[in-house]
């Protein structure tokens, strides 16, 4: 396995094509705006090196028998699924940000079982292709970005009906040695910090959408791939040179629009190619795994936000107020409810035909449906406890200013014994998690990541088995089932 420093150097050595603010970025490892995001991924390597986290962060590969990072693992039991959620909570606690390797891990497990079933029906080579690919990923301890979301264009039209065919990524040329694809993937979290990108279709496809039913993996610095980094609230604070105003000075996240401009994919890197009847299967399984993930990662970040709210209550002198205590209890209740859902859908996981374990799909969607709501309430309560100074405090430069600094120290002081700077640091952390750059990976991502709320409600309706529940009611009420 790689160390954190080896990971950073591996990203620095890549020839990835990155654009931000209309300019080309030479290296994600050396960009002040992108480096905190890289540090979040680095933490997944650093934690795997610590003996106290070994059981959560590492596991034995069922393919090679070697010790690997759990982010590269294929789940072999319900216990593996549970440990995945525990690992994600730990990483959230240590970074207070999105650590970006979950999408790739969830893609691995969805593709593993799906390719097995595609091969069984069509005698294709996809399952073996994927196993050989995954062995390489495990051996090199790579970070892999999972790319599912297409720009979509007119949501009322199928991929093949769009006026611009590139609004869904698709095959534009089939050759003896592979395919050429064109299109884009949106909202790609951590793509600038990844070695590889693994692409999946974004919706269930019909036969006429055959060219869009494509799944593959290529290095992110493959010719024809480039990324346009998205804006985040308060992102340019990272260019100011200070630490306090960033809220979280070490860790962060990033997202980008990734363009595939006539990218060649060799045959041995293809995992689905026109089998439209399995595109929906792959999408649903990936979505299920990723909705499970939110019961871990968002809970870990929530732990930090609850701690920050409790800390600012101490610094404000309000910790003993009954309403503050009650708000902290409510925040904890909501956060642990999310965790309970993540653990529950894992504990109820079952073995697929391919041998890996799939979460309980209904409970995974219930988990993510709750995540679309509870972090918003946790954030609201944190803002309530923090007070208005969270969004009106002067800058760090004012705090350090020869003339202004003493006045900032004097008038923004809280309880005796706590430096004004500490109070400002906690307020900025709360701002970062609820409104700033980290809110992309906590609050807003809680709404739209792994599918919008309506996507989960569709799956809940599909998995909820209302007919069975009617039969249960009829049996108790002594009503004829006819």
| Catalytic residue set | 98, 102, 189, 255, 290, 294, 297, 445
Transcribe 14-75 into DSSP letters: S---EEETTEEES-GGG-TTTHHHHHHHHHHHHHHT-GGGHHHHEEE-TTT-SEEEGGGPPP
Contact 36, 250 (CB under 8 A): yes
Contact 260, 225 (CB under 8 A): yes
For residue 451, give the DSSP letter.
Answer: S
Transcribe 119-169 into DSSP letters: HHHH--SHHHHHHHHHHHHHHHT--EEEE-----SSTTS-GGGSSSGGGS-
Contact 48, 72 (CB under 8 A): no
Burial category of 350 from C-beta neighbours within 10 Å (exposed 0-12, middle 13-18, buried 19 and up): exposed
Contact 255, 192 (CB under 8 A): no
Rounded distance between C-alpha atoms, residue 412 and residue 244, angstroms: 15
Rounded distance between C-alpha atoms, residue 370 and residue 375, angstroms: 9
Please report the sign of the dihedral spanned by the C-alpha atoms of residue 42, residue 46, residue 52, residue 53. Answer: positive
Strand, helix or coil for residue 357 = strand
């Amino acid at each position: 396995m790689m160390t954190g420093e080896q990971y950073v150097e591996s990203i620095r050595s890549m020839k990835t094509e990155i654009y931000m603010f209309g300019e080309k970025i030479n290296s994600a490892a050396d960009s002040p705006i992108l480096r905190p995001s890289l540090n979040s991924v680095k933490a997944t390597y650093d934690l795997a090196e610590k003996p106290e986290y070994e059981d959560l962060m590492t596991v034995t590969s069922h393919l090679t028998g070697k010790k690997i990072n759990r982010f590269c693992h294929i789940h072999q039991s319900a216990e593996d699924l549970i440990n995945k959620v525990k690992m994600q909570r730990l990483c959230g606690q240590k970074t207070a940000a999105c650590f970006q390797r979950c999408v790739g891990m969830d893609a691995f497990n969805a593709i593993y079982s799906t390719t097995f079933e595609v091969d069984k029906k069509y005698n294709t080579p996809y399952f073996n292709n994927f196993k050989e690919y995954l062995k390489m990923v495990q051996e090199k301890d790579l970070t892999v970005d999972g790319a599912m979301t297409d720009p979509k264009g007119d949501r009322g039209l199928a991929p093949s009906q769009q006026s611009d065919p590139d609004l869904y990524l698709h095959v534009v040329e089939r050759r003896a040695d592979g395919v050429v694809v064109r299109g884009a993937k949106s909202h790609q979290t951590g793509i600038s910090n990844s070695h590889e990108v693994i692409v999946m279709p974004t919706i269930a496809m019909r036969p006429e959408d055959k060219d869009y039913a494509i799944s593959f993996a290529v290095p992110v610095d493959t010719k024809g791939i480039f990324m346009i980094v998205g804006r985040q609230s308060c992102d340019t604070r990272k260019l100011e040179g200070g630490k306090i105003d960033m809220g979280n000075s070490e860790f962060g996240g990033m997202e980008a629009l990734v363009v595939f401009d006539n990218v060649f994919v060799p045959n041995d890197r293809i995992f689905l190619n026109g089998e439209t009847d399995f595109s929906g299967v792959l999408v649903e399984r990936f979505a299920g795994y990723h909705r499970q993930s939110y019961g871990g990662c968002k809970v870990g970040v929530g732990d930090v936000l609850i701690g920050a709210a409790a800390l600012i209550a101490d610094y404000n002198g309000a910790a003993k107020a009954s309403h503050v205590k009650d708000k902290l209890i409510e925040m904890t209740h909501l956060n642990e409810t999310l965790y309970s859902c993540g653990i529950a859908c894992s504990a109820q996981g079952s073995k697929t035909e391919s041998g890996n374990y799939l979460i309980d799909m209904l409970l995974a969607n219930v988990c993510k449906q709750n995540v679309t709501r509870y972090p918003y309430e946790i954030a609201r309560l944190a803002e309530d406890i923090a007070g208005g100074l969270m969004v009106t405090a002067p800058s760090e430069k004012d705090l350090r200013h020869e003339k202004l600094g003493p006045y900032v120290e004097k008038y923004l002081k809280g309880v005796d014994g706590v430096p004004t700077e500490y109070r400002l640091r906690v307020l900025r952390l709360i701002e970062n998690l609820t409104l700033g750059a980290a809110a992309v990976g906590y609050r807003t991502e809680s709404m739209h990541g792994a599918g919008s709320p309506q996507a989960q409600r569709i799956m809940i309706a599909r998995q909820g088995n209302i007919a069975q529940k009617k039969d249960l009611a009829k049996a108790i009420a002594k009503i004829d089932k006819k």
